[in-house]
Homo-oligomer: A and B are copies of this chain.
Amino acid sequence: MEALSKNKIKWIRSLRLKKNRTAEELFIVEGAKIVNELIENWPENISCICTTTNDINYNGKCYLTDERSMAAISNMQAPQKIMAVVHMPDLKAQRNDLILVLDGIQDPGNMGTIMRTADWFNIDQIVCSKQTVDLYNSKVVQSSMGSIFRVPVSYQDLTKYLSSSNLPIYGALLKGTNIFEQSFGRKGIIVIGNEGNGISNELLELIQHPINIPRFGKAESLNAAVAAGIILSEFSR
């Protein structure tokens, strides 16, 4: 294995910024579990691997380095022993029956968790507003737990997107039909709003079926990823 040069360290660090990730179409994944999943399932996506251990079963470009350099290139508080620089996957939706629309999700952990949940419930694709957090933000990648390589995600003008769709459009709102009383078809678009402000005003008029998760206690709202999970679960029943 080659040693990790200062220039390479600088290059990997540059991928912390969205503009550099976008220009190079590369991003970072960290940790043994996900890197091994990559080697097994998507080796063609790997640009290179950086590791502090020789104990690795990968024939492509691999840099051996020390803990200090790993800490310099890591995005995590507790740097892992292994990370990979990865080409952004070019995922295409196989069907377009069940679509999750994210209108300005800001928290990277929520975004990753929503991708993981969408993957569990076999959602065909996720469409995000341009104000939604970047898919390749390191915390999104980590919390998606590999789903980033399975769920197609795009960023679009949501007004245009929803206006031109023929699917029924459901929206998670504080007022609407009780989700337990709503019947869902096998096709639809589900819109989840921003953590603090919900669905934006300009999209509200495009929601054909406002749905609501009934509140039994006193919390003001549900976390966006939990709300998405409950709605996707109801859709899948």
Contacts and interface: CB of A to CB of B under 8 A. Distances in A.
Interface of A: 109, 113, 116-123, 143, 145-147, 150, 180, 213-223, 225-230, 233-234, 236-237
Given A116-B226, A119-B217, A121-B217, 14 more contacts: A116-B219, A116-B222, A117-B226, A119-B218, A120-B221, A120-B222, A122-B217, A145-B220, A147-B218, A180-B237, A223-B225, A223-B229, A230-B230, A233-B233
Contact of A219 (B146, B219, B223, B236): B146
From A146, A150, A213, A217, name the one whose CB has the most chain B CB atoms within 10 angstroms: A217
A170 to B, nearest CB: 16
Contact of A229 (B147, B218, B230): B230
B150 A117 contact: no
B226 A146 contact: no
28 contacts: A109-B109, A113-B223, A113-B225, A113-B226, A116-B222, A116-B226, A117-B219, A117-B222, A117-B223, A119-B218, A120-B213, A120-B216, A120-B217, A120-B221, A121-B216, A121-B217, A122-B216, A122-B217, A123-B217, A145-B221, A146-B220, A214-B236, A222-B229, A223-B229, A225-B225, A229-B230, A230-B230, A233-B233
A147 B203 CA distance: 30
Assembly of this chain: how many copies?
Answer: 2
A227 B147 CA distance: 16
Nearest to A236: B216
Nearest to A223: B113
Nearest to A234: B233
A150 B217 contact: yes
Nearest to A123: B217
Contacts of A220: 145-146
A173 to B, nearest CB: 15
Contacts of A234: 233
A234 B121 CA distance: 16
Contacts of A236: 214, 216
B223 A116 contact: yes
A67 B21 CA distance: 33
Contacts of A229: 222-223, 226-227, 229-230
Closest A-B pairs by Cβ, 3 of them: A122-B217, A226-B229, A119-B219
